[in-house]
Structure 1
């Protein structure tokens, strides 16, 4: 990151948490974020994004969720 900036997004689902694990691969990395209540969110991002954002365990980040639909399922 070249500098600090205040970022605003139109997405309403922004969850602040802390990176608790990183699993880099050849092309993508899996990032596990723990939210304040203990829940965890997992995201797959490119290795380029991992490096560009300077992500590391312990860093505070935002999980930004933007989806065009949400499916609901039930048990039979």
Structure 2
């Protein structure tokens, strides 16, 4: 797999919550950090995502927001 994105983080799928059109997919990465993504149900199916399967969180963004209390 070759990608232009610089942030590719390997982890395991811990949860998939299916909706009418999209699914919320949670990937647990090193240190127990969880990354959540919303992808289409057809993408979940074509990638064969299931709880316990290894997957990559690929992050490519033009900006990142920062906030404090």
Both proteins in one fold, TM over 0.5: yes
Q: How far did 1:74 drift? A: 2.8
Runs of 4+ in 1 over 3 A off after TM superposition: none
The one of 9, 12, 29 equivalent to 1:18 is 12
Tell me the C-alpha RMSD between the 2 structures.
Answer: 0.8
Q: How many residues align?
A: 69
Q: Which has the larger radius of gyration?
A: 1
More helix by share: 2
Aligned counterpart for 1:57 among listed residues 51, 57, 69:
51
Structure (1 or 2) with the greater strand fraction: 2
Q: TM-score, normalized by length of structure 2? A: 0.94
Unaligned runs of 5+ in 2: none
TM-score where L is the length of structure 1 = 0.86
Structure 1: tracts of 5 or more residues without a match: 1-6
